[in-house]
Structure 1
Amino acid sequence: MTAVADQFERAESINPLANPEAEVRFLSDLIADNRLIDPAADRLRPVDFSVPMHGAVFGVMLQQAAARTNVDAVTIAPFVTEFEDWPKLSRTLSAADLNAGSTKQTKAYLEQIVELSQRRRMVLGLNEVIRSAKSPDISPDELVVQADEAVAEMADQTAGDEQASAGEYAQRVIDSFGKPIVGVRSGINSIDKVVGILRPSWIIVAGGRPGMGKTAMVSSYAIGAALLGHSTLFFSLEMSADQITRRMLSDLCHSRDFSVPYEQIRDGTVKGRNLEAVIAAKNRLDQLPIEICDRGGLTLAMLGRRVRRHKRRLSAQGKRLELVIIDYLQLMQPSRSSMSPYESATEISKGLKALAKAENLTVFALAQLNRDVEKRPDKRPAQGDLRDSGQIEQDADVLLFLYREEYYLNRKKPADEFGPKFEDWRNDMEAVRGKIEFLVPKHRHGPDGQALGFFFGETVCIRGSDFYSAGEEQDYG
């Protein structure tokens, strides 16, 4: 019984998330071939070792390799004498040349040390979540963010290729010639014309005054992008998912020859042929890679967590999240309640840009414009009209502004429908009826520009300039 008890005690003392022997063998291989130290430094840190002395030895190796001096047990010794077990490790490292393994085996040790370190940090992080969960001062949302951060490093295996020579990047550019361009487009020709293909890591900010059709535009863009196979995550911070979905159904029902008014779908009064069209639109939505999140009060941390979770889910299915839409930017919550609107908008703008780059996707955010637009004779938005922060303007790769002359002319309708001014007003209205301007005052990766499209208020959707001239299959764009 004593022998069995001793075996259980020894088994319980083994840390399944540490392999000190692999660490020793790895250090020995680096001593045997100093050329392996620099590549190892790209993946490994001293804190990744489970035994503090091993981490300290690796740290000394990095310093000496950076100074271009030979690294061996003798040169390391003066810096690790405080460790009682150093003499034993020194003897092993001194015989490194005799015990060196293959490069393949060294890489296997490296991979295991990195993975075990990640797992240990995950355990520490989740233990911290458990402790936080016992505190009534920590909100459930904060707990979820903590838990996500604890597992994010294990879930993200894309790190490690953040730096290369300019020549290597140039070769990648040349290798990409003739291959399909990676990026998002909507099939709405007017928008695609002025903003181009939206590439991963870009943030596009679309602004407009109330009534310009911002949500209609971004909803139509989401549908068009999804129809082309681009997986899209739509954050609706102003409207509920129910409202956005009703709009999308009306949008999908809209063609040159037939449409279902949004009002009917909104109020649930759809009948007959219109109901058949809505059911068909619903079946189309079933096939589209769009998901909607209408959670209010999102902070950057919460939004990032949801994006990463959805991205991991798609990756498990062999798919890729390409487009994140936010309606709209100023409704996101700052990390601290004491922040001013300017500080909040600045933080969120920088955070969204960082998210687009870190997750290698496109962020399409709507933004409100300030009231100064209304004071000008020409009410077309300009680059400085974004509300709350100039940082939005700086961070955006593309600025897209919406303008509908019809909206402003309608407010100037003469009271006397038989007076001399009414006919002029009616002619002006006919010239701009249903038209929307897409203005791009800033494009970091291409020329500025503008284009004309169509806005359909009855079905709250946007179409391109070729809507009435393209083939039947182009009805959506």
Structure 2
Amino acid sequence: MTEITPIRSGLPQAPGTEGASETAPHNIEAEQQLLGAILTNNDIFDRISSLVRAEHFYEPVHRRIFEVASARIQKNALASPVTIKAFLEDDAGLQELGGAAYLARLAGGAIAAYAARDYAQMIYELAVRRELIALGQDISARAAKLDVASEPKDQIVEAEQRLYQLGEQGVAERGFQSFLKAVTDAVNVANAAYRRDGGLAGISTGLVDLDKKLGGLHPSDLLILAGRPSMGKTSLATNIAFNVAKAYRRGMTADGTEGAVDGGVVGFFSLEMSAEQLAARVLSEAAEVPSEQIRKGDMNEGEFRRFVEAAKALEACPLYIDDTPALPISQVAARARRLKRTHGLDVLMVDYLQLLRGSTKENRVQEVSEITQGLKAIAKELNIPVIALSQLSRQVENRDDKRPQLSDLRESGSIEQDADVVMFVYREEYYKEREKPGEDNLEAMAKWQEVMERCHGKAEVIIGKQRHGPIGTVELSFEGRFTRFGNLARPWQGGSEGF
């Protein structure tokens, strides 16, 4: 075995630590072993390339050796001490270590090629530690420097973002996978859906017919829930949030990690209503006490007892509400990351999209586009479904058939483009109530009563776009007193499905 001469660090010490005995975390021997293994057997590069990059090496000379070797291997050319010597002849750092002889010693000293992945993991982890140190020093330096243009809250958001990005690094890139692997994954998803008895691959909304149409709420999807005022957008969103949080059960997931096996942790950005108002809506539904009675305190003893018991039953529900108004999309992302890190996060809700702020102020269409792209990015980054509520334009009111369409979305281009699913809430009863004829017109009154009887207590969720499934209409029940959507009982079922 050829012994490799230990070398000095090629990086300066961190600022403010001159003369200190400690240097940044590193392992020169691991770097030498990994480089030697690659120069001896180029196939090893394919096993570690998704984990280690040139900048992860502490010694600058090793960084340059890795760059040259990886460039040649990616061109299907041999990378050996002999072939890469010509590209590093003018490298002063390598000459200081012995030039071509050092390259030969690297290859000759590599005795543990089978452990290359372990060396790569160690090099990566030490690089992350150095980045954490540098990030901490940068945060400290920026905080100490008083700059009018740099607000402390902006620095916090930026620091959180950089920390999260650092935490997400090192996950092996997927690249190409065999069809066998893809088929196996598809079968596992189908098996999970089969075992849930409802054909669900995603998280259940608690609404049977909606689940059948959507297949549940899928990770990394952006779902837009739109409607005119008073249609019940917020009510439907709170119903789904409550159903998901109420069903939450933690355990061992299919991939062997611990997480939600049923239901999930829900984050709810309520930009329109306060957290207390939103909680009152959820309690109204759970206790079956009309929300206006809760607001006025107009409850009898039995209703108040049900209200208190519902509050006690729901206090452990993993539903987290943020009611900060006019949030920028960057803050939404930062707060969602923080919630996932501290309590977990399986579903995110935003009520509603037009109340968020983007960085662009001149053009509203561009600002909404930035917001929808930001929400889709959150869904992919955190691997969760994001449900964002949206207002519809007034042109709906000018049509005879007031069922919403994709073209009714405000600033529809970006919303329609970025969303995986677009759903509209529509209640015919709301419009028919306002068309009540005069008492003297008996024929018109009879027709109106017939129509009202047909549409009373019913709502439609119109799926106008679904990237992974069919479009169509789902009928739900709606109890206005409790602001509650439910499963519509069918005549052939002989009773209600329960909610």
Please indicate, yes or no, whether the TM-score normalized by the shorter chain is above 0.5: yes
CA 169–270 in structure 1, closer or farther in 2 if over 3 Å, else same: same
Per-residue displacement from partner, 1:272-330 (whole Å, max 9, x unpaired)?
A: 1111111121122223221111122222221122222222224xxxxx53211111111
SS of residue in 1 equivalent to 2:450: helix
C-alpha displacement at 1:342, in angstroms? Answer: 0.9
CA separation of 1:373 and 1:176: change in aligned 2, threshold 3 A = closer
1:317 aligned residue: none
Of 178, 185, 201, 1:172 maps to 185
Matched residues in 2 for 1:18 and 1:150: separation?
A: 22
| Pairing of 1:310-459 with structure 2 (within 5 A) | 310-314=339-343, 321-338=345-362, 340-414=363-437, 416-420=438-442, 421-459=444-482
Shift of the 176–221 alpha-carbon distance from structure 1 to 2, 3 Å rule, reads: closer
Q: Distance in 2 between matches of 1:270 and 1:124?
A: 59
**CA displacement at 1:11 relative to structure 2:** 8.1
In the TM superposition, what whole-angstrom CA distance separates every residue of 1:212-261 from its partner, at most 9, and x where no partner exists?
Answer: 000001100111122222221111111111111111100112xxxxx211
Supply the distance in 2 between the matched residues of 1:243 and 1:468 (Cα, whole angstroms): 36
SS in 1 for 2:346: strand
Question: Percent of pairs identical after alignment?
Answer: 32
**Is 1:67 aligned to 2:66, yes or no?**
no
**Separation in 2 of the partners of 1:132 and 1:337?**
27
Shift of 1:406: 1.2
Any conservation in 1 of the 2:432–2:452 contact (CA below 8 Å)?
yes
> Is the contact between residue 251 and residue 460 of structure 1 (CA under 8 Å) also seen in structure 2?
yes
Going from structure 1 to structure 2, the CA distance change for 1:361 and 1:164 (only over 3 Å counts) comes to same
Aligned-partner residue type, residue 419 of structure 1? N
Give 1:73's aligned amino acid: P
User: Number of aligned pairs?
Assistant: 456
Measured at CA, do residues 60 and 471 of structure 1 come closer, stay the same or move farther in structure 2, by a change above 3 Å?
Answer: farther
Residues 111-136 of structure 1: CA deviation (Å, up to 9, x unaligned): 12212222222333333333333334
Partner of 2:158: 146
Displacement after TM superposition at 1:400 (Å): 0.9
Which of 208, 213, 229 pairs up with 1:210? 229
When structure 1 is superposed on structure 2, of 266-275 and 237-246 the one drifting more is 266-275
Output the CA distance in 2 between the equivalents of 1:226 and 1:390.
32
Aligned residue in 1 for 2:314: 285
Q: Map of 1:217-256 to 2, 5 A cutoff? A: 217-229=236-248, 230-253=264-287
The change in CA–CA distance for 1:142 and 1:111 in structure 2 (over 3 A counts) is same
* Counterpart-to-counterpart distance in 1, 2:319 and 2:213: 24
Distance 2:113 2:222 in 1: 42
Of residues 128, 133, 137, the one that matches 2:149 is: 137
User: Match for 1:298 among 323, 327, 349?
Assistant: 327
CA distance in 2, matches of 1:293, 1:405: 32
Confirm whether residue 264 of structure 1 aligns to residue 296 of structure 2.
Answer: no
Q: Deviations over 1:195-216 (max 9, x none)?
A: 2312111111111011100000
Cα distance, 1:154 vs structure 2: 4.1
Residue 72 of structure 1 deviates from its aligned partner by 1.8
- 1:473 to 1:454, Cα distance in 2 relative to 1, 3 A: closer
Which amino acid in 1 is paired with 2:223?
A: I
- Give the CA deviation at 1:474: 5.1
CA distance in 2, matches of 1:121, 1:406: 59
Could you tell me whether the CA contact under 8 Å between 2:274 and 2:323 is conserved in 1? yes
Matched, 1:121 2:134: no
Post-superposition Cα deviations, 1:59-114, rounded to whole Å, max 9, x if no partner, equal 10111101222212232223233432313264333034432132453222211221
Give the distance between the partners of 2:202 and 2:105, measured in 1 at CA: 54
| Structure 2: segments with no counterpart, 5+ residues | 1-16, 194-199, 249-263
Q: 5 Å matches for 1:32-111?
A: 32-87=40-95, 88=97, 90-111=100-121
- Contact 1:193 1:451 survives alignment (8 Å): no
SS of 1:118's partner is: helix
Maintained 8 Å contact 1:405/1:432:
yes
Matched letter for residue 274 of structure 1: E
**Per the alignment, do residues 262 and 467 of structure 1 end up closer, same or farther by CA in structure 2, a change over 3 Å counting?**
farther
> Which residue of 2 is the match for residue 201 of structure 1?
220
**Which residue pairs with 1:26 in the alignment?**
34
Higher relative contact order (CA 8 A, sep 6+): 1
Instruction: Provide the secondary structure at the position in 1 that maps to 2:388.
Output: strand
For 2:472 and 2:326, the matched residues in 1 are separated by 35
Q: Distance in 2 between matches of 1:343 and 1:377?
A: 32
After superposition, give the CA deviation of every residue in 1:120-175 in whole Å (9 maximum; x if it has no partner): 22333333333333334322331221121232134336721432324132232235
Residues 171/194 of structure 1: CA separation in 2 closer, same or farther (3 Å cut)? closer
Larger mean Cα displacement after TM superposition, 89-98 or 20-29: 89-98
Instruction: Indicate how the Cα distance of structure 1 residues 157 and 54 shifts in structure 2: closer, same or farther if over 3 A, else same.
Output: closer
Residues of 1 paired with 2:317 and 2:128: CA distance? 36
Of the structure 1 ranges 49-58 and 244-253, higher mean CA displacement relative to structure 2 is found in: 49-58
Amino acid of the residue matched to residue 239 of structure 1?
M
Please state whether the residue corresponding to 2:24 is helix, strand or coil. Answer: coil
Tell me the SS of whatever aligns to 2:354.
helix
Counterpart code for 1:343 = Q
Most deviating of 144-153 and 157-166: 157-166
The CA deviation at 1:13 is 4.5
CA contact (8 A) 1:122 1:150 kept: no
2:489 is aligned with 1:466 = yes
